[in-house]
Structure 1
Amino acid sequence: MSWNIPNLLNATLENDVVKLRRIGIDDKAGFARIADDPDSWTYMVSVVQDEPSLVAFLERAIADSLAGTRIVFAIIDKASGRFAGTTAFGNLAPADRRIEIGWSWLGAPYRGTRVNRATKGLLLDYAFGELGCERVEFKTDVLNARARAGLKAIGATEEGVMRSFNFMPGGRRRDAIYYSILKAEWPDVRATRFR
């Protein structure tokens, strides 16, 4: 099995709350408006702290998307029409019908709102419906209590910790915790968590 990466790159996903589209350099102004909150980057492997790091983040996201290694979406809040954050499909494994949803962050005004759940619902629908995935996985820093609670809230199953998984900015070694939702679980999860 293979996935049509150009179709995936050009996918625009939307519901009543958010619109997801491929990130572009034109997102710089919207990104800059909400990226200056250091709390946004505490558990991320990339840190945006000034204009050069913002441009580097966008350029890397665009390059990864074009290479088909990670498809990065801009999250647009439909109520305001504003850039709310980013999310991505990564670790694409079409032969195993597996994909990861991650690299997600939201600006402070959008945390604790319907934006995250609406975003994850669109990506999960696409992964299980359009891509035919059997497994969607998520990983986060074991210290990231907010992300862990969010993953449990959308019905993801905690699977285990990968100790000393990667370096973080500042040199700390991150323990990564994995979660997943399986195709067989998705109808029930969708009906109970994404109404």
Structure 2
Amino acid sequence: MQIDFNLKLESDHLLLRPLLENDLNQLLELTQEPDMWKFYTHDLSHIDTLSDWARPAFKRERLQFVIIDKATNTILGSSAFGNYALRDRRIEIGWTWLAKSHQGSGINAQVKQIMLTYAFEKLYMERVEFKTDVLNSQARKALRNIGAIEEGVLRSHTLMTKERRRDTIYYSILKSEWNHIKRENDW
């Protein structure tokens, strides 16, 4: 099964729809908090780097969603499916960020639930991967909270903002773990 780049996913409260070029200005408004990009590969507070970050989505190299609050019809942030390997039946969920005002609100867990459900129950993935900066304790805690298993660290793996080299830590959830994780998280 191939990725549908027109895919929309939703829950009672959130809509995930593909990123459009005309979303960039609204996203830019959400990215202006100081230090928001400390653990991210791009500083999205500038239109040029936001456009560079979005380019793979427009080239259909990853399915980048905007996260929309259905009650207010406002964009809250973004997340994506990427690194899709059909033969290996694996996909990565990542490139995720939320406006500072929505961090710690439970939205990230809801987004992961929507995306994991689709990955395991519609795409029939065997493995869903996540990766983050080893220094990003907030992201690491969030991944553990949804049941992702820490796998290991790739040293000096990724170039970050301000020319820092990141040690990347990988997490995953396997198909054989999915039903237990759904029950544990009351999804």
TM-score category of the 2 structures, normalised to the smaller one: over 0.9
Stretches of structure 2 lacking an aligned partner (at least 5 in a row): none
Cα contact 1:71–1:89 (8 A) shared by 2: yes
Matched, 1:55 2:51: yes
Alignment of 1:90-169 (within 5 A): 90-169=82-161
Q: Offset at 1:17? A: 2.3
Q: Is the 8 A contact 1:141 1:176 kept in 2?
A: yes
Deviation at 1:194, TM superposition (A): 4.2
Match of 2:174 in 1: 182
Q: Which residue number corresponds to residue 71 of structure 1?
A: 63
Match for residue 10 of structure 2?
Answer: 14
Q: How does the TM-score come out when normalised to structure 1?
A: 0.90
Give the conservation status (yes or no) of the 8 Å contact 1:40–1:105. Answer: no
Give secondary structure in 2 for the equivalent of 1:39.
coil
For residue 48 of structure 1, report the CA deviation from its aligned partner.
1.6
CA RMSD, aligned part only?
1.4
**Is the CA contact 1:70–1:90 (under 8 Å) kept in the aligned structure 2?**
yes
The 8 Å contact of residues 149 and 173 in structure 2, kept in 1 or not, is answered as yes
* Alpha-carbon separation, structure 1, partners of 2:145 and 2:157: 24
CA distance in 2, matches of 1:194, 1:30: 33
Shift of 1:57: 3.1
Letter in 2 for 1:31: L
CA drift of 1:29 comes to: 3.3
Structure 2 counterpart of 1:85, from 51, 54, 77: 77
TM value normalised by structure 2:
0.93
Q: Is the 8 A contact 1:77 1:115 kept in 2?
A: no
| In the alignment, structure 1 residue 4 sits paired with structure 2 residue 7 | no
* Alignment gaps of 5+ in structure 1: none
* Cα deviation digits, residues 87-142 of structure 1 (max 9, x gap): 11111111000111001001011111121111000110111011110010100000
Q: Is contact 1:100–1:138 with CA below 8 Å preserved after alignment?
A: yes
Name the aligned partner's letter for residue 57 of structure 2. Answer: A
Q: Distance in 2 between matches of 1:79 and 1:41?
A: 27
Asked if the contact 2:17/2:65 (under 8 Å) is kept, the reply is: yes
- Preserved CA contact (<8 Å) 2:5 2:18: yes
Over residues 62-90 of structure 1, what are the superposed CA-to-partner deviations in whole Å (9 max), with x where a residue is unaligned?
22xx2xx2111111122322111111111
Instruction: Kindly indicate whether the alpha-carbon contact (under 8 Å) linking 2:56 and 2:62 is maintained by their aligned counterparts in 1.
Output: no
Which amino acid counterpart does residue 47 of structure 2 have in structure 1?
E
Count residues with an aligned counterpart.
187
User: For the Cα contact (< 8 Å) 1:166–1:175, is it kept in 2?
Assistant: yes
Contact 2:9 2:16 in 1 (8 A): yes
| SS class of match (1:43) | coil
Shift of residue 38 of structure 1? 3.1
